[in-house]
Structures are given as structure tokens and as C-alpha cells.
Amino acid sequence: MAPPTKATSKKGDLKAQALKVAKAVKAGTSALKKKAKKIRTSVTFHRPKTLKKERNPKYPRISAPPRSKLDHFQILKYPLTTESAMKKIEDHNTLVFIVDIRADKKKIKNAVKKMYDIQAKKVNTLIRPDGT
């Protein structure tokens, strides 16, 4: 004779499983329930807004931070040594420099102060025909 405990326990499991399924059918699972239809208020379709993640780079795209391109060495290129410039130096106590085209009067004034430790009273600028 075979032991009856195994057969009854198997039947009990099947019965419990059947009851579980019946309960789920009665309650209504997600597969059986109907999804409520979304009401559309506009006839034009708009693509849904998706998740926008913050950038998380693996390495910096710029290796070094950019330095100031117009320092005082870059602003004052060289003093002008023409006869008329020399005459200005002697007669009017005026210095004449060729400077960077991007420098404004304040930058030129500060560059002269840094380079030569003199306070410029006034700065006159002129763009020459050759573009300097």
C-alpha cells in the first residue's frame, strides 16, 4: 500500500490553488479589468515630455580653464619710434605705443601703470590705416 498522506496533500494543494484562482477572478485581476479610456481634449498630438537627465561627464571637455587673452604684456605691443613720436616724447611729455586692437582706453591705462609704474593722465587712441 502506498502512503495516503502524499495523495491527500497534493489534492489539498490543488484545491487551495483553485480557490485562489477563483478568488482572483471574482475580485478581478489587472488582466481582467478594463482600463479607463483617457479623454482627449485636443485634436493635435503633442509628444510627451520625457525625462531630461543632468549631464554627468566622464571627463572634462576643456582640459584647462581659459586664461585672459588680454594681459598687460599683450595690450602694449611696442613703443612707436618714428620721428614724430620722438618729437611728442620730447616736446609734450607724451608716450606713443602700438597697442592691441581689442584694448580699450581703461585697459591701456592700467597696462601702462602695471608695466612702467606711471599714472597715465590721458589716453588717446587711433586705428592706423594698416589696422594696428
pLDDT in tens, 70-84: 999 999 999 999 999
CATH code for the domain in which residue 116 is found = 3.30.70.330
User: Residue 22 domain-assigned?
Assistant: no
Show the domain range for 109: 67-132
User: Residue 9 domain-assigned?
Assistant: no
**Predicted confidence (pLDDT) per residue in 44-68, tens digit:** 999 999 999 999 999 999 888 888 7
Within 8 A by CB and 6+ apart from 99, the residues are: 75, 76, 77, 108, 111, 125
What pTM was computed for the model? 0.52
User: Residue 35 domain-assigned?
Assistant: no
User: Residue 106 domain-assigned?
Assistant: yes
Distance from CA of residue 34 to its chain's centroid? 46
In total, how many domains does the chain have?
1
Give the pLDDT score at 14. 87
User: Residue 120 domain-assigned?
Assistant: yes
User: Residue 101 domain-assigned?
Assistant: yes
Within 8 A by CB and 6+ apart from 120, the residues are: 108, 109, 112, 113
User: Residue 112 domain-assigned?
Assistant: yes
Kindly indicate the confidence band of residue 99, based on its pLDDT and cuts at 50, 70 and 90: very high
User: Residue 105 domain-assigned?
Assistant: yes
